[in-house]
Structure 1
Amino acid sequence: MVFFCFLVDQTKKMRSSKPVAGICSRCGGCASVADMETATRFCYVPVHRRVWRAIVCTFCGALLKSYR
């Protein structure tokens, strides 16, 4: 008998951030530039990791612009 495990997990984590001039277009909160990390795992084994920059809202957490 063969069992296949198709468990794929992807997490986004904010590594660091600093405030930037501007406001969120959705809620009016403050914006910040953040270094984001995306990690993809297959059966709890890390497969792919990518670090990128984004402008996010500090109040609602919306991703306003990404620099990949």
Structure 2
Amino acid sequence: MTEKIGKFDPKAFAAAMKNLSLSAQAQPGLLLDVSYDNNGDLDRENHMTKVVDGKQVVTDILPPANKK
């Protein structure tokens, strides 16, 4: 996002994150699709995990809170 703003500006960065959605397919380096609400708060899919035989195992995937 800093590249799009053109400078490191925390206030401009926060404003640019409001109502923003980013796709992992379209944005190299993202692991998951993410969205930010009108307050700039992150809203994305979450994973419930547990450790089995020393390895992390996904037990459930929770949808984004604001997904309709």
Q: Identify the structure with bigger relative contact order (alpha carbons < 8 Å, sequence gap 6+).
A: 1
Which one has the bigger strand percentage? 1
Q: TM-score, normalised by structure 2?
A: 0.35
Q: TM-score, normalised by structure 1?
A: 0.35
Which one has the bigger helix percentage? 2
User: For the pair shown, which has the larger CA radius of gyration, 1 or 2?
Assistant: 1
